[in-house]
Structure 1
Amino acid sequence: MLEKGNRANTLHGILLIALFSFAAFYIAGFPFVKRLSLSPLIVGIVLGMLYANSLRNRLPETWVPGIRFCTKQVLRWGIILYGFRLTLTQVAAVGLPAVAVDLVVVAGTLLGGVALGRLLGIDRDTALMTSTGSAICGAAAVLGAEPVVRCEGYKTAVAVSTVVVFGTLSMFLYPVMYRTGLLGGMTDTEVAVYTGSTLHEVAHVAGAGNAMDPTDALGIAGVATITKMIRVMLLAPVLVVMSLLLAGRRRTPGGAEARGRIAVPWFAFGFLGVICLNSLLQYVCGAESVREIPLNGAVEYLDTFLLTMAMTALGTETSIDKFRQAGAKPFVLAGLLYVWLVVGGYFVTKGLVGMF
């Protein structure tokens, strides 16, 4: 992709995506965008989709390899560096209850999503991508699953869109349920674990947690975020299991499925390795939180930019025609999974947290 004869054109494509990503960061800083908790990743995919439906056919096709480089290599590095946001200390801080709830919620969402996808007649890749986004950590999980599932770019964009819709709804719904007493049967710890184990994005969890407990005096905001981070850690083992189950199956020209070599998601092991390295750095530096580790802020900013580039590049492959091709079924699937997260997650949290 970066061969000598094609290097200049490839760099042009990468530069185009980088410029869009800088614009996404700028727009994400607008006050009304911040209030909606729309990260640069989400703004980036919107910009990419706007480009796909306007200027996409007016720029040289020779730039396409650079755009695809961003959806592959840049994406993998973004997922690996995402591990610098997490430490093993976070798991110890909330203990076994949060881990148990996260495991049940993630497994239930993935298995239920695949089963519902079959009932709705949704293709396997779209169902799997949509379920992964709902189950683990929203857009970042969808991006992580893309190299393993190897689906078309528009299916990734559709999955991300479902995360944006239902995750944003949750961010406003949970504080309302808390204020109106609908969560009155839960302790503060249970509310925190419930929030962290069922909301889609880290930003959504932070927004809802702060709305319920602005000063973290009740511990809701902090524990909810840590519970969410434990859920993020499950991304690596889920990707490994997913790659083993898919076992390299690909469609042959005749339409039949052929079994090839297993696509080992090495970047998932890199993600886990970075978490362990970050935990060691926290211990060596004596940092109380992950944000106090030296250079952590700079690495997180770089990682967010890389993920924004990947998301923007995926957006450029997504036209309105492809959304029409996907239809409404993925959103129906995401809606059913959302009901499971809100209702099922409540009873799972009440049952498991009470056991420990």
Structure 2
Amino acid sequence: MFSKENRANTIHGILLIALFSFAAFYIAEIPFVKSLSFSPLIVGIILGMLYANSLRNKLPETWVPGIKFCTKQILRAGIVLYGFRLTLTQVAAVGLPAVVIDTIIVAGTIFLGVWLGKLLKMDKDTSLMTATGSAICGAAAVLGAEPVVKCEGHKTAIAVSTVVIFGTISMFLYPILYRAGMLDALGDTGVAIYTGSTLHEVAHVAGAGNAMDPTDTLGIAGTATITKMIRVMMLAPVLVIMSFALAGRKKAATEGGTTQKSKITIPWFAFGFIGIICLNSLLQYLFGVDSVKEIPLNGAIEYIDTFMLTMAMTALGTDTSMEKFKQAGAKPFLLAGLLYIWLLGGGYLLTKWLVPMIG
């Protein structure tokens, strides 16, 4: 990829994606876009898709390796650096109820998504990617699962699209339900855990939490965000388990016509993700600060990480034409809708039942 003959073309492809990513950051700061809590990641994939459906055929094929580099190496590095947003202290701050509910939601959503995908006769990779995005942390989880599942780029983009649609609906719906008194039975802590354990993106949780509790006087916004971060931390073990499960599912044909199990793909970047969380926890202790935001250079690292993930999303978007969405059909969105009903209703019942019991 970076051989002497291809180095310049590969760099051209990377710079193209970087240019789109800078534009995504700028657009994400526009007041209207910001009011929707659309992160640069989401704007990036939209820009990439617009490019894929307009000028993509004019892109020199020699630049493609640079785009692929963004969807592989830069993506994995971004997932590792994502660990700088989290600490083990955040888990202890919320306590056992959030951990238990998050675990049930993550496991239940993935298993339910795979099962429903079979009933709908969907492509296995698409159903797994959609379920993973709904279960853990939206676009970041889909990106994390992509190197393990090894699916086509357009399937990743479809899964991200479902997360954006239903996560955005939730971001506006939850505050409406809260103000209407329909979540009163949960209490303030329950509402926070319910929000953090069922909304798709971190940005969606932050948007809904701030809408319900703008000054965090009730602890809803802060607790919801921490609960969401616990779900994010579950990304690493889920990816490891997924790699073993997929090794048993995918077969590799040999020359003699027999089949054997394919080699297990260990997502080493997932261990890097966990390692960074532990390092961040140590840094928080050494500097004696209350939050990750106060750790020196944390803000700069988070900005760089967001840019890297935006590059990965944008690169995936450039491989996603409307023709591929038509080929996928309505089933991925139907699956995401069914999972959304589970998160909305099942999450409410779990929170109402478990928080008083183990709180």
Q: TM-score range by the shorter chain?
A: over 0.9
Which of 313, 322, 325 in structure 1 is aligned with 2:324? 322
Number of aligned residue pairs: give it: 356
Cα displacement (A) at 1:186: 1.1
Give the SS at the match of 1:187: helix
Instruction: Give the letter for the 2:296 counterpart.
Output: P
Which of 282, 285, 299 in structure 1 is aligned with 2:284? 282
1:215 maps to 215
Deviations 1:214-253 (A, max 9, x none): 1101000000000000000000000000000001725659
CA distance in 2, matches of 1:256, 1:61: 36
Give the SS at the match of 2:186: coil
Does residue 349 of structure 1 match 2:351?
yes
Q: Which TM-score applies when normalising by structure 1?
A: 0.98
Does residue 194 of structure 1 match 2:194?
yes
2:82 maps to 82
Deviations 1:281-322 (A, max 9, x none): 000000111100000000000000000000000000000100
2:271 maps to 269
Instruction: Give the letter for the 2:198 counterpart.
Output: T
Contact 2:213 2:221 in 1 (8 A): yes
CA distance in 1, matches of 2:7, 2:273: 29
2:167 maps to 167
Cα distance 1:260–1:337, how it changes in 2: closer, same or farther (>3 A)? Answer: same
Cα distance 1:346–1:236, how it changes in 2: closer, same or farther (>3 A)? Answer: same
CA distance in 1, matches of 2:138, 2:84: 18
- What residue ranges of structure 2 are gaps of 5+ in the alignment? none
CA distance in 2, matches of 1:353, 1:325: 43
Q: Indicate the percent of aligned positions where both proteins have the same amino acid.
A: 76
Cα distance 1:257–1:351, how it changes in 2: closer, same or farther (>3 A)? Answer: farther
1:45 maps to 45
Cα displacement (A) at 1:259: 2.1
Which of 258, 261, 266 in structure 2 is aligned with 1:259? 261
| RMSD over aligned Cα atoms | 1.5
CA distance in 2, matches of 1:37, 1:147: 27
CA distance in 1, matches of 2:259, 2:45: 31
CA distance in 2, matches of 1:260, 1:134: 27
CA distance in 1, matches of 2:37, 2:79: 21
2:106 maps to 106
CA distance in 2, matches of 1:186, 1:250: 47
Instruction: Give the letter for the 1:303 counterpart.
Output: D
1:184 maps to 184
2:135 maps to 135
Contact 2:252 2:262 in 1 (8 A): no
CA distance in 1, matches of 2:154, 2:258: 22
Deviations 1:84-119 (A, max 9, x none): 000000000001110000000001000000000000
Give the SS at the match of 1:216: coil
Cα distance 1:24–1:252, how it changes in 2: closer, same or farther (>3 A)? Answer: farther
Q: Which TM-score applies when normalising by structure 2?
A: 0.97
Does residue 5 of structure 1 match 2:9?
no
CA distance in 1, matches of 2:67, 2:335: 30
Give the SS at the match of 1:247: helix
